[in-house]
Amino acid sequence: MIWARRTKQGSAAVGAGPAEDPSAAVSRAKMLAEHGDVEGARSAYQQAIDSRHPEHAPAAAFSLGLLLGRHGDWAGAQAGYWYAANSGHPEYAPLAARNIGHLFKRQGRFGQAREAYQLAIDSGHPDVAPWAMVYLGNLFIYYRNPAGAEACYQSAAESGHPEAAQQAAQRLEALRDARRAR
């Protein structure tokens, strides 16, 4: 990792310039975030994102979303997540879509949360998709759409995911019990 570099004029440049490897920028961002330097971490993550590296840019965008979300910058978090979600990366795109759903849900934007969870489901990711089915089922409960919730919970219960399938099966049973009690 490059911590100080000589410029053409001979002065030391703290951090790294445009030539920093995106992996090093992500590592530097994580270190800065751990030490509470949110703006420094944001800048380092952005440098990795700007590299458009197929692995490091989506990772940086997802991590930036996490960082900014923890600090209440919902718009910044959403922008980072959208970059990762649109990257097509097999790990970070589904995770980012799920987190976008969480952000929208938190903001009361349920239609957009539904769309984001559906993106995560459509990814087919073996861990993220079943959980997104559970989250979407929960949204349908909020919408008072028990048929939609039942379909989501049923799919998640059949997914084979150890935790999501169990939780979905429990919610499905509770939903059916409530229907029978009417």
Question: How confident is the model over 58-69, as pLDDT tens digits?
Answer: 999 999 999 999
User: In this prediction, what percent of the chain has a pLDDT beyond 90?
Assistant: 86
The pTM of the full predicted model, rounded to 2 decimals, is 0.85
Q: Is the pLDDT of residue 18 over 90?
A: no
Average pLDDT, the chain: 90
Helix (H/G/I), strand (E/B), else coil: 167: helix
Burial 40-65 (b: 16+ CB within 10 A, else e): bbbebbbbbbebebeebbbbbbbbbb
Q: Are 165 and 159 in contact (CB under 8 A)?
A: yes
Buried b or exposed e, range 157-175, using 16+ CB within 10 angstroms:
bebebeebbebbeebbeeb
Q: Can you list the positions of beta strands (E) in the chain?
A: 4-6, 12-14
Q: Give the Cα separation of 64 and 107 in Å (integer).
A: 19
DSSP state for residue 10 in the 8-state scheme: S
* Cα distance from N-terminal residue to C-terminal residue, the chain: 64
| The predicted structure's pLDDT at residue 19 | 55
> Residue 49 half-sphere exposure, CB side, CA atoms within 13 Å?
23
Chain centre to alpha carbon of residue 47: 19
Structure-token pair, residue 75: 């718009």
